[in-house]
A and B are shown apart, each in its own frame.
Chain A
Amino acid sequence: MIFREVEDRDLIAKARRGHVEAYNVLVSRWEKRVFNYLLRLVGQREDALDLSQDVFLKAYQNLKKLDDPAKFPGWLFRIAHNEAYSLLRKNRPEGEMTVEPKMAEASGGLFPIESTLAVRSALAKLSDDHREAVLLKVYQGFKFEEMAEILSCPVSTVKSRLYTALDLLKQTLAPVNSGGAE
């Protein structure tokens, strides 16, 4: 993990000097995570792809403003968060905060397809703020302090959003959980 961090730091340093290929390597490492975060947040694949490209373009243009290369992941996801919310605010009328995501069909895994669809549906029913808290913690593994920086809000707010989201998901997924546990 440390070795990977050093490599990212080296790529960032090269990209800052104008090495586009070094930046492309950095993009290849992070594009899947950023794309899936955006996909689960905005719900539309084409939007998520366009946003991903915008995120990496803005990151490249502002790479010199990144004080500490070790904070690149949080910094990148902060850009992604800002881009996603710009789109969400533009696309949705005030008060309408959730949409049914149109994602690809499940491709199998440890849980049955019903479980995968149920999880997607449960995530889609959350508000954007609650869903984003789950995405950053459960799927991206950020710490509360990092999430607070990404979302520009206090740690207490981050905790409140995540815990509320977990309570809602627990209720929504209860039948699935029971089925999975049996």
Chain B
Amino acid sequence: MSCSSDDLKAYVVGEMTRQERGMVDDHVRGCQGCREELDRLNLTQAALVSLEDEEIPRRIAFVSDRVFEPRWWQTMWRSGPVMGFASSALLAGAILVHGFEARPIAVATDAGLTKQISELQAQRAADIAKFNDQLRATEVRFEHQRQEDLATVQQAAEYYQKQVARFEMASNEAYKQ
């Protein structure tokens, strides 16, 4: 290390690392000029710090002033628990209102959508009418078939009754002979 007045000042005001201070200490031991300069700086520093602080004549204090106090909403906004409770209460209120509210049926305001709905409703009515027609035709067809089957059964029954009567007559005549 070479002679440096700035290094000596940094040493005196405590702006050196331990390693740097060691280097200055080593240098000063072998350099009378720097040793004397360091002594002068230390004396100057000692003279400066001998100046005592004065007591403040009047204590500085602030009173609670409404200008600087936070508003009620600022206080609430900054409070986590209060905000959490308020949010929960708001959510619960919204759920209640939603539950009891008489909600009107949504009316489609779009003309295209209204037309589409009308067409679908007409198509649905036509399909229902067609289905009903087919159902009625089927019922008529089944009724005709039933009547025909019933007539056939009656004819068969009459035939068997006649046959039974004929056999009875034949049997009676044979018994008489």
Contacts and interface: CB of A to CB of B under 8 A. Distances in A.
A20 B68 contact: yes
Nearest to B63: A20
A99 interface: no
Contacts, number: 112
B15 A163 contact: no
Classify the interface of chain A: helix, strand, loop or mixed: helix
A32 B53 CA distance: 8
Given A169-B48, A180-B43, 15 more contacts: A18-B69, A20-B63, A20-B68, A49-B58, A52-B56, A53-B60, A56-B60, A106-B52, A111-B47, A123-B51, A134-B48, A137-B13, A139-B49, A163-B6, A166-B12
B43 A27 contact: no
A79 interface: no
B64 interface: yes
B110 interface: no
Interface string A47-80: 0010011001100110000000000000000000
B124 interface: no
Contacts of B118: none
A35 B60 CA distance: 10
Interface string B70-87: 100011001000000000
A162 B54 contact: no
A17 B78 contact: yes
Closest 8 CB pairs of A and B: A177-B43, A111-B50, A35-B56, A18-B70, A36-B53, A170-B44, A20-B64, A31-B60
